[in-house]
Structure formats: structure tokens, C-alpha cells
Amino acid sequence: MRGEVKILILSLGVFAVAFALRRVFFFDVMPLAWDSEPAGGGSLQAAFLLLTIENIAGITAVIALAFSAFSLVKRRVSLRGRPRATDTSKKVNGLKPS
């Protein structure tokens, strides 16, 4: 597998794990909650850390996807301008190449 695809899959996996952990354990933690009691410092810090990990993994996935798309377009453009390889074992005008 190519490097950017591995990075894309890894970052999407990290994003999914951090998102699931934050939703399961810290679904009701808000930085400011006027209508309820303030959240504990530890849970607020953990939720902020998981959200930061989600954001970093998401940005990494977008960059890897853009790099992969750019690489694919560059490869297709470079192949389009290149002459195709021909079989040299065929006879040309009745003569066999030496």
C-alpha cells in the first residue's frame, strides 16, 4: 500500500477512536454551561484533549487525501504525454530489426 493511503487510514482510525471515546465518556461536558453545575476539571481537560486529537487526526486525513489526489493527477498527466512502449520484435516493412 502507498504511504499516503496508510497515513489516511491511520488518521481516520485515530479520529474514530477519539470521537467514540469522547462521545461515550464525556458526552455532556461543556466548557461553559450556565444552566447546570460546572464540569470537573479532569473531565473537561480529558474532553478537550480528545477533541484536540480528533481535530489533528481530521486535518491529517484531509492533507493525506489531498496529497494522494495530487499524486494521482500528476501520475496520470505524466503518463498521458509519454509515448507508449512498442514491441520491437515485430517486423517493420517486412524487415526484422537487428
- Note the pLDDT tens digit of each residue in 38-72: 667 788 888 889 999 999 999 999 999 999 899 88
Q: Which of 25, 90, 89 is nearest to 51 (CA)?
A: 25
pTM of the model: 0.66
pLDDT in tens, 70-95: 988 888 888 776 666 665 555 556 66
Residue 77 CB: number of other CB atoms within 10 A?
A: 10
What crossing angle do the helices spanning 41-81 and 3-25 adopt, rounded to 10°? 160
What is each CA distance from 39 to 20, 27, 58, 72, 76, in whole angstroms? 20, 11, 26, 47, 53
